[in-house]
Chains A and B, each alone.
Chain A
């Protein structure tokens, strides 16, 4: 809740050309956005250039900021649009640079309840998330990693909040199925 009001506060101040508020927003939001941009472009320099664009554009349109609308969602959407423009058709090649999975863990006497401690699972999960359909993965990541709510995600992805929920639910279904299969393969 605190974060939400901070964004609203910044939006109001930035609209009145408050450079200090703009700097606060920059410092606070930069790294999450940087991680987000990186998840698209996978190149720090490109991501930094994109964010320069995003913040510069935000400053240029500051008089049109609406504190009823989520400034956070706006930042994510501007970042997303620029990333998609940047990678263009290469968008679907995200899984190319995935690490090849490690050798299976020898000791597999873990049961269903605590296999969440397994390091291998973390890596598997990572892989499964990467192979989700694009829209599902995006909704899931925005929700899980960026902490955006359904309405903010809907604004970023330009769809209805209900669709966002459907995407996330489908993503979790898929992940759960992967988990089940993986468990079965562990016990055999």
Chain B
């Protein structure tokens, strides 16, 4: 009933003498709806179809239970192959053999297909290295040191739904097909674009940061699937431990967020512990911090083209007035 009249917030936007007319227009518009509805029978049929689909999935049709599927498929074959009592034992035995062979072959195929399609593919940039990977559809990812992307082969363009651990710069050509990147706490939907995504789940300052260079993307929390923000080029948003929701997009200097691609670093109020983690990742050096209070201190630093790890440590020590020393092949900050 309520919907036979527009909300007051709508009516309020019109001058008083027009409201009655608008309300009537609203009412009349209700008749224009082309009705498309299923009758009871068709509706029941759709419900049955859905149930079949869901039971199939629970039996192992879904991606993450691939191994399980292979196992069940095999047992299914074996039981189907068991002959139902026969006088001609010989033939029955041959039949049984046939079925056993068929079941073994089916099992092998299922396991292989399961392995091929469901075992994830991972591309990883080891510590101290960068790596660029390009897919056949022109999508490209540049991985920062110690970062990886993972996807499965199920489906023709299955890499269009992948998982990132670490930091990467994506170049995704415009396409009707969705491209989704998941991190440990967030989901990024891509609509043809270039963006930087940074999400090391085990870092001291763990968070997911998204910087858009051009095109359009949305950022959604993995825990609040209804909460998304849309980014404009040049904007940035993040999800950290304290906020389950993405922060409102804000303007950012994209060059800084992309400093890593030119071997640079950009730290914004990062803890020394976090800075050390990143330096370790890039330079294959271990960095030890003598005490907790030093580890927790925060620093903002932009290093577009640092020479080596020692020069960076020197700058940091200069800024926060600490000292460093080499101990074997490690750097100790104190």
Q: How large is the interface on B (under 10, 10 to 19, 20 to 34, 35 or more residues)?
A: 35 or more
Given contacts A31-B43, A35-B37, A66-B226, contact A144 B53 (CB under 8 A): no
Q: How far is the CA of A172 from the CA of B24 in the complex (A)?
A: 11
User: Closest CB-CB distance, A4 to chain B, in whole Å?
Assistant: 11
Within 8 A of A (CB), among B223-271: 223-226, 228, 230
Q: Quick one: CB contact mask for A1-44 with B, threshold 8 Å, 1 for yes?
A: 00000000000000000000001001100110011001100001
Contact A85 B176 (CB under 8 A): yes
Is the C-beta of B14 less than 8 angstroms from some C-beta in chain A? Answer: yes
Given contacts A55-B50, A64-B225, contact A144 B30 (CB under 8 A): yes
Contact B18 A158 (CB under 8 A): no
Instruction: Out of A34, A122, A165, name the residue touching B38 (CB < 8 Å).
Output: A34
Given contacts A85-B176, A126-B32, A129-B29, contact A31 B38 (CB under 8 A): yes
Contact B33 A168 (CB under 8 A): no
Is the C-beta of B3 less than 8 angstroms from some C-beta in chain A? Answer: yes
Q: Quick one: CB contact mask for B1-12 with A, threshold 8 Å, 1 for yes?
A: 011001101100
User: Closest CB-CB distance, B82 to chain A, in whole Å?
Assistant: 32
Within 8 A of A (CB), among B135-181: 176-178
Interface of A is mostly: helix
Contact A88 B29 (CB under 8 A): no
User: Closest CB-CB distance, B18 to chain A, in whole Å?
Assistant: 7
Contact A30 B46 (CB under 8 A): yes
Instruction: Out of A48, A66, A122, name the residue touching B28 (CB < 8 Å).
Output: A122
Is the C-beta of A155 less than 8 angstroms from some C-beta in chain B? Answer: yes
Q: How far is the CA of A89 from the CA of B62 in the complex (A)?
A: 29
Q: How far is the CA of A116 from the CA of B27 in the complex (A)?
A: 10
Q: How far is the CA of A144 from the CA of B29 in the complex (A)?
A: 8
8 contacts between A and B (CB under 8 A): A30-B38, A31-B37, A35-B33, A88-B176, A144-B6, A144-B29, A149-B7, A172-B25
B contact residues vs A (CB 8 Å cutoff): 2-3, 6-7, 9-10, 13-14, 18, 21-22, 24-38, 43, 46-47, 49-50, 53-54, 57, 62, 176-178, 218, 223-226, 228, 230
